[in-house]
């Protein structure tokens, strides 16, 4: 451990050796935050003598948890029979609920539903209530309510606008259904954990005393619920150490509250703040651009990155007439880099919005360059991929009614909701799974339950499933060809909106499946399904291809040669209602600091977008980063809010923003406080 500590810089060592009381480690991009956090855990256990069972380290992704667990375990020289608990927030919630959910009158054999399951339940309830609202919007609102600890009854009381009244009713019915069926959604893992700890003082004290030393990674990404949960967990001792970077808070759109990190020292008294400002990733010119850009933000604690690597080549600004010329030029430059021996996995192109990837794909394809396109949606969350996975689950377990319901009419087999409801009822009465019911009855018998046409379709469906299950036992590799021949998922999706893209995604999945079989001859279908359920988009990076991805997806990654396209007003930064310029600027900061030594920022004079060619101005970020001449005024406005945001006023309580207009250095908000509508300046309210 002594040698490990000697390898740290002064700031890192100061953070590691702080033991008691709250601590904020403000870790700039590439400053060794993971190294600092894992070393501190090792130091507490191996040097201070803290029992590993008295520590709790929380992350946001399984991938981060796995990496940190491996690094921390390697540093723990004092080995004991117990191991430190290092996991995601939601894994912690799951473990807690398995032991304590009975305090809410629930059994601990609850089933966790994923986001797709949740949407299906919401869609059915909305249909029953004759509510014609976007299901994704309803789902997002319910998630938002849960993560701000607002119950269905509270929303019903507060809702004023018709749409929100309807959503409140759906929220109430949804909560009733999942509770009655002992289901738990992703948000419940934390919300229910908080409710139990908040209402049970004895358990709260016991839990807090068990986890005497709590650490949190990526604290800038925490939301209101996570903050309140951490307050309870640290309530008995205050030993909460958080690591994060306010300048990399880019997930406000999904609930992250930047105030959690900005106001940490106010919320937890006597906080020790340590700034990690030595960057080990990027050269000085790259960090100079990043520092100058982010200094225009008002909502930040403040720090300045310095490069451990020192000088390097200047940041390049690349100007093209349009997106076709831009992508062609980047492709040719990349080709030169590859010819010089640069590894393709050290090259990446980033963009702010997914629509900009099309021209890149064309340019790279024409030059014959291998690339991996990663968008904003997880690959395995796409409808066409989830359908195939549901089929695979049926091959593994044909009595999985949930998966059967998803795919029994994909491709179309004239089997609608009414038919499915009749099958479910008959299966329940006969104590069968739906598949068993179909399999054991002939067409005539099935025709007494559903229509003759549906009965014939169902029998063919069951026969195809059985044929494919037999093929699986013969050859996992050749199974895909027969699957396509009998089921025809590619033909089915080719005729849907975005058909070509969906077919390409299916081909990608098949290719991955075959590759997995080749690399692991002993692979079983069950193991494959378990593995992919835990994968994230970053796990799918192809090491032998240039990466094309959104800036959001790039966070946490780094590349030797980096291009960022779309540096134009309206594209980056996004403009218009709901735009948060400070978060846009933080995205710019994240993009720039992904580069290690070679950074090129690109802009064009016009782009073809949303059906028409449009002339556009270069991004203000280029001048703010000190890279081109132009106005570069420091921004001193108050935080912005968008329509639909929940806010809290110290006198009027909680309300919802209906509109936002610029007023001097801040914004004037029209807010509905439970039916009373008022205009309030933005500096007098805070996000809920």
Cα-based angle 127, 425, 184 (whole degrees, multiple of 5): 60
Token code pair at residue 239: 């030993």
Q: Are 277 and 303 in contact (CB under 8 A)?
A: yes
Token code pair at residue 590: 């994240």
Measured between alpha carbons, how far is 463 from 308 in angstroms, rounded to an integer?
64
- Identified catalytic residue from 188, 218, 247, 568: 218
- For residue 26, give the 3-state DSSP assignment: strand
Measured between alpha carbons, how far is 383 from 71 in angstroms, rounded to an integer?
36
Half-sphere exposure of 317 (CA within 13 A, CB side): 15
626: DSSP letter: T
Measured between alpha carbons, how far is 176 from 165 in angstroms, rounded to an integer?
17
Alpha carbon 664 to chain centroid distance?
A: 35
Known catalytic residue at 269: no
- Identified catalytic residue from 33, 393, 441, 637: 33
- The number of beta carbons lying within 10 Å of the beta carbon of residue 431 is 8
- Identified catalytic residue from 248, 419, 538, 547: 248
Token code pair at residue 619: 């991004």
Q: Are 535 and 380 in contact (CB under 8 A)?
A: yes
- Identified catalytic residue from 594, 618, 637, 656: 594
Report which of 365, 335, 383, 360 is spatially closest to residue 549, judged by C-alpha positions.
Answer: 360
DSSP string, 263-284: THHHHSTT-EEEEE-EESSS-H
Measured between alpha carbons, how far is 520 from 476 in angstroms, rounded to an integer?
11
The sign of the torsion formed by the CA atoms of 390, 358, 496, 472 equals negative
Q: Are 420 and 408 in contact (CB under 8 A)?
A: yes
Known catalytic residue at 57: no
Known catalytic residue at 176: no
Known catalytic residue at 585: no
Measured between alpha carbons, how far is 37 from 260 in angstroms, rounded to an integer?
19
Known catalytic residue at 34: yes
DSSP-H helix ranges across 352-416: 357-366, 383-396, 401-407
- Identified catalytic residue from 12, 23, 34, 283: 34
Known catalytic residue at 453: no
- Catalytically active residues are 33-34, 217-218, 248, 594
């Amino acid at each position: 451990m002594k040698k490990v500590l000697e390898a740290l810089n002064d700031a890192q060592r100061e953070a590691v050796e702080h033991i008691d009381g709250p601590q904020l480690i403000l870790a700039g991009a590439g400053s060794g935050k993971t190294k600092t956090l894992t070393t501190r855990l090792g130091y507490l256990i191996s040097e201070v003598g803290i029992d590993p069972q008295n520590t709790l380290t929380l992350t946001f992704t399984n991938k981060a948890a796995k990496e940190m667990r491996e690094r921390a375990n390697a540093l723990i020289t004092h080995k004991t029979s117990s191991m430190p608990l290092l996991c995601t927030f939601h894994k912690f919630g799951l473990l807690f609920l398995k032991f304590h959910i009975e305090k809410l009158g629930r059994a601990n054999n609850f089933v966790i539903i994923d986001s797709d399951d949740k949407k299906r339940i919401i869609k059915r309830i909305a249909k029953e209530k004759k509510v014609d609202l976007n299901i994704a919007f309803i789902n997002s609102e319910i998630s938002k309510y849960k993560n701000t600890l607002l119950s269905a009854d509270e929303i019903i009381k507060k809702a004023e606008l018709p749409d929100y009244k309807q959503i409140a009713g759906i929220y109430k019915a949804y909560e009733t259904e999942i509770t009655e069926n002992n289901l738990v959604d992703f948000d419940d893992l934390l919300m229910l954990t908080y409710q139990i700890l908040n209402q049970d003082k004895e358990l709260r004290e016991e839990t807090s005393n068990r986890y005497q030393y709590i650490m949190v990674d990526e604290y800038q990404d925490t939301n209101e619920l996570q903050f309140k949960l951490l307050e309870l967990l640290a309530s008995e001792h205050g030993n909460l150490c958080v690591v994060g970077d306010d300048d990399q808070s880019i997930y406000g759109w999904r609930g992250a509250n930047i105030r959690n990190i900005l106001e940490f020292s106010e919320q937890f008294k006597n906080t020790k703040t340590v700034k990690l400002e030595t960057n080990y990733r990027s050269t000085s010119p790259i960090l100079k651009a990043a520092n100058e850009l982010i200094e225009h933000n008002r909502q930040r604690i403040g720090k300045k990155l310095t490069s451990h690597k020192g000088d390097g080549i200047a940041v390049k600004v690349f100007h093209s007439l349009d997106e076709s010329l831009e992508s062609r030029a980047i492709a040719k430059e990349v080709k030169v880099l590859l010819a010089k021996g640069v590894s393709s996995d050290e090259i990446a192109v980033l963009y702010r919005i997914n629509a900009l990837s099309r021209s890149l794909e064309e340019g790279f394809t024409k030059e014959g360059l291998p690339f991996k396109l990663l968008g904003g949606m997880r690959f395995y969350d796409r409808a066409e991929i989830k359908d195939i996975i549901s089929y695979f689950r049926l091959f593994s377990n044909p009595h999985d009614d949930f998966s059967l319901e998803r795919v029994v009419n994909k491709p179309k087999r004239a089997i609608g909701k009414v038919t499915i409801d009749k099958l479910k009822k008959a299966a329940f009465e006969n104590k069968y799974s739906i598949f068993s019911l179909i399999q054991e009855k002939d067409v005539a018998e099935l025709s007494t339950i559903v229509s003759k046409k549906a009965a014939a379709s169902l029998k063919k469906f069951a026969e195809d499933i059985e044929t494919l299950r037999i093929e699986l036992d013969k050859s996992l590799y050749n199974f895909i060809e027969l699957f396509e021949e009998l089921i025809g998922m590619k033909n089915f999706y080719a005729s849907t909106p975005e058909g070509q893209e969906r077919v390409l995604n299916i081909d990608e999945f098949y290719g991955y499946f075959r590759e997995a079989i080749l690399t692991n001859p002993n692979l079983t279908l069950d193991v494959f399904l378990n593995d992919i359920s835990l994968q994230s988009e970053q796990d799918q990076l192809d090491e032998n291809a240039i990466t094309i991805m959104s800036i959001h997806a790039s966070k946490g990654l780094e590349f030797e040669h980096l291009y960022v396209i779309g540096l134009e007003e309206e594209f980056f930064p996004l403009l218009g209602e709901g735009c948060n310029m400070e978060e846009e600027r933080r995205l710019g900061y994240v993009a720039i600091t992904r580069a290690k030594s070679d950074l090129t920022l690109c802009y064009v004079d016009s782009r073809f977008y949303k059906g028409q060619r449009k002339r556009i101005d270069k991004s203000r970020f280029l001048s703010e980063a000190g890279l081109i001449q132009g106005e570069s005024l420091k921004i001193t406005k108050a935080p912005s809010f968008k329509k639909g945001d929940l806010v809290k006023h110290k006198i009027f309580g909680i309300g919802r923003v209906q509109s936002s207009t610029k007023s001097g250095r801040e914004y004037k908000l029209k807010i509905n406080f439970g039916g009373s509508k008022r205009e309030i300046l933005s500096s007098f309210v805070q996000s809920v």
